[in-house]
Amino acid sequence: MDKLDDELVKFAYQKIEFKLANFDQIKRSCTTKLNNNLDFIREEACKSICFGLYQGAIGLTNHLIESFLRLNLAIRESKATEYNEHSFN
């Protein structure tokens, strides 16, 4: 059993090392701040990419884009000149 555990730990470290090496490619996306409602989705999508969970990242990115567009349409329809985070929660 110890040999299996050692192999699993070794495999996990190799996967994490490989995926985190891709962090430089998405660093800007991971450090850009959005509003509170969209930040959580952005952070989860970045984590998904870092750990190779690409299908989850695609779903979260779609949700992020949809939420962003919906928010912008609401602001435009209200003819607001600036965004007040508390008025759309």
**What is the pLDDT of the chain when averaged over all its residues?**
75
Parent domain of 25: 1-36
Q: Is the pTM of this model over 0.75?
A: no
- What is the domain count for the chain? 2
Question: Would you state the pLDDT for residue 88?
Answer: 55
16 vs 63, higher pLDDT: 63
Question: Would you state the pLDDT for residue 55?
Answer: 93
Same domain, 43 and 83: yes
d(CA 31, CA 33): 6
| pLDDT at 72 exceeding the cut of 90 | no
Decide if 45 contacts 64 (C-beta within 8 A): yes
Average pLDDT over residues 39-57: 84
Same domain, 81 and 48: yes
